[in-house]
Amino acid sequence: MNVAAPSTIFNAIRPADDGPSRRRSRWIAAAELGLISSSFSTVVSQLFAARIGRDAAVDWMTVATIPARDWALGPEPPWSAVITGIAFHQWADFSWAVFFFGVLGRWTADLRPSAILVLALPWAVFSSSMEWFVLVPLFPFWQPLFTLLQPYWIGLLVHGSSAVMYPLFARLRWRRGAAPARDVRFTNAWITAALAVIALLGAVALFGSHGYEPPWMGRDRDADQTYIRHMTAHHAQGIELARIAAERGQDPHLRKLAMLMVASQAGENRILETWWLSWFDSEMPDCSTDERATMPGFLTLVEMRQVKAAPADQFDSMFIDAMSRHHAGAVRMADQMWHDHGDLRLRIMAHAIRHEQQGEIALMHGASGFAAVATAFRNMLSDNVN
C-alpha cells in the first residue's frame, strides 16, 4: 500500500519538474534580495522615525558607533557618521538575507512567497535579538552603547521592515520569464504595496517636516501638554549640562558620551516642539519656576554652578553624579507617560527615552559586556514611577 508523502510547509516547495536550468544561483538571488530588503528598511526607518519620536540622524549615528566607536559621536550628527550608520545597517540586513537564502537555502530557497513571509517574520525576531543581545554588545563588536541606548523593539521594527521584502526572493530565484505565474502575480502585488507604503510614509514625512503631523489622538489633553512642556524644559537643562561636560570632561569617552546626550536630547526636543505646534496650533508656554522646582531630577541653579565651577580633577565625578540624578528624574517622568493614557506616539517615545537615559547612566558608570546586556534588558522592562 502506497502512503502519500507528508506535505511540506503550506505545500510550499516547488514541483520537481521546475528544472534547475530555469533557476538562478540562490546566492546571487539572495544578494539581490539583500540589497532590496536592506534599502527598503533604510527608507522606511528614515521616513517613519519621527512619527514615533525618533531622530533618525541620531539613531544612524548610534549605529555608526558599532564599528566606528567614539569617532562617530558628536553634538550634532555629522554626515560622515550618518552615512556610516546607514552603510553598516545595510551591510547587516544584507548579511541576514544572504544567510537566510544562501546558507539556509537548502530549506528556504524553493519556498513559495507566502511560506517565506511566514518564516521571515520569526527570522526578524531572531536576527534582531542576536544583534541586540550578542553580536553588538558582546562578540564580535563589544560595543554596549547601541544596546543600552536603543530598546530592542526599535531593532525589531527595522528588521521586520526588511523581512517583509523576503517574499520577493521567489521571483529573483528564477531566470527572466521562468517564474511561475502565481508567484509573479504575488510579487507584483507585493512590490506595488511596498511602493505604496513608501509613498505614504514619504507624504506623511513631507507634511511633518513642514509642521503638519497627524493630529493628536490622546485621552487627556492637559496631561499630554504638561508632559511635553516639562520634558522639553528638562531636556533643555540636560543639554546645557552635557555641553559643559563635552568641553570640560577629562575622560575622552565621557566627553563623547556628553556629545551624544546633547544630540539625542536636542533631537527629541525638536520632535516634541513640532508635535506641540502641529497638535495644539500654538506656541509652547515656558515652564514656571515652581514647575521646574517640582520636576524630578531638575537641578537647582546652585547645583548647576557647582558643576560648572568644579576643579578639573573633580569635574568628571561631579558631572556623572549630577547627570545621573538628572537622568533618573527624566526616567520617572517618561515612565509615568508610558503607563498613562496619552497619545500613543508620546508613549512610545517615552519608553525609548526612559531606556536611553537609564542606558546613559549605566554607560557613565562604565557598564560593558554581559553586565550591559543585563542592564539594558532590565531597563527596557523596568517600572520607575515610584
Q: DSSP assignment of 73-124, as one string? A: --SS--HHHHHHHHHHHHHHHHHHHHIIIIITHHHHTT--HHHHHHHHHHHH
Q: Please give the mean pLDDT across all residues of the chain.
A: 94
Sequence-ordered list of residues with C-beta below 8 angstroms from that of 308, at least 6 positions apart, any chain: 244
Distance (Å, rounded) from C-alpha 375 to C-alpha 368? 9
d(CA 116, CA 164): 9
Give the pLDDT of residue 74: 97
Q: Give the closest residue to 263 by CA, choosing from 104, 144, 145, 125.
A: 145
Query: 344-364 vs 252-280: helix axis angle to the nearest 10?
Result: 170
Name the pLDDT band for 385 (thresholds 50, 70, 90). low
CB of 23 closer than 8 Å to CB of 174: yes
Instruction: Please check the confidence at residue 2 and state whether its pLDDT lies above 90.
Output: no
- Does position 201 have pLDDT exceeding 70, yes or no? yes
What single-letter amino acid sits at 133? F
Q: What is the pLDDT of residues 343-365, one digit of tens each?
A: 999 999 999 999 999 999 999 99
Q: What is the pTM of this model?
A: 0.92
Domain 221-381: which topology? Ferritin (1.20.1260)
Q: Please report the sign of the dihedral spanned by the C-alpha atoms of residue 384, residue 333, residue 225, residue 352.
A: negative
Checking if the pLDDT of 50 tops 50, the result is yes
Per-residue pLDDT tens over the stretch 212-252? 999 999 999 999 999 999 999 999 999 999 999 999 999 99
Strand, coil or helix: 283: coil
pLDDT the model gives residue 298 = 98
Q: What percent of the chain has pLDDT over 70?
A: 94
DSSP tag of 99: I
Grid cell in block for residue 237: 537643562
Q: Which of 7-16, 19-28, 234-243 has the lowest mean pLDDT?
A: 7-16
The C-alpha atoms of residue 321 and residue 315 are separated, in whole angstroms, by 10
Q: What is the 3-state secondary structure (H, E, C) of 330-370?
A: HHHHHHHHHCCCCCHHHHHHHHHHHHHHHHHHHHHCCCCHH
The 10s digit of each residue's pLDDT in 105-133 is 999 999 999 999 999 999 999 999 999 99
Distance CA 63, CA 87 (A): 10
Question: Rounded to an integer, what distance in angstroms lies between the CA atom of residue 291 and that of residue 227?
Answer: 11
- Does 1 score more than 70 pLDDT? no
Instruction: Please give the average per-residue pLDDT across 85-112, as a whole number.
Output: 97
**Helix, strand or coil for residue 174?**
strand
Peptide bond into 140 cis (omega under 30): yes
Mean pLDDT of 95-103: 98
Q: Tell me which residue of 232, 247, 345, 249 sits closest to 291, measured CA to CA.
A: 232
Q: In this structure, are residues 379 and 330 in contact, taking their beta carbons and an 8 Å threshold?
A: no
Identity of the amino acid at 147: T
Q: Where are the domains of the chain?
A: 23-209, 221-381
d(CA 337, CA 115): 39
pLDDT at 163 over 60: yes
Rounded average pLDDT over 146-172:
97
Query: Is the pLDDT assigned to residue 20 strictly greater than 90?
Result: no
Say what the pLDDT of residue 386 is.
52
Residue 317, CB-side half-sphere exposure with 13 Å CA sphere: 4
For cell 541586540, the residue is 132
State percent of the chain over pLDDT 90. Answer: 92
Predicted confidence (pLDDT) at residue 5 exceeds the cutoff of 90: no
pLDDT tens for 267-283 read: 999 999 999 999 998 99
More confident residue, 175 or 17: 175
Is the predicted pLDDT of residue 284 greater than 50, yes or no?
yes
> Mind listing the pLDDT tens digit for each residue in 305-332?
999 999 999 999 999 999 999 999 999 9
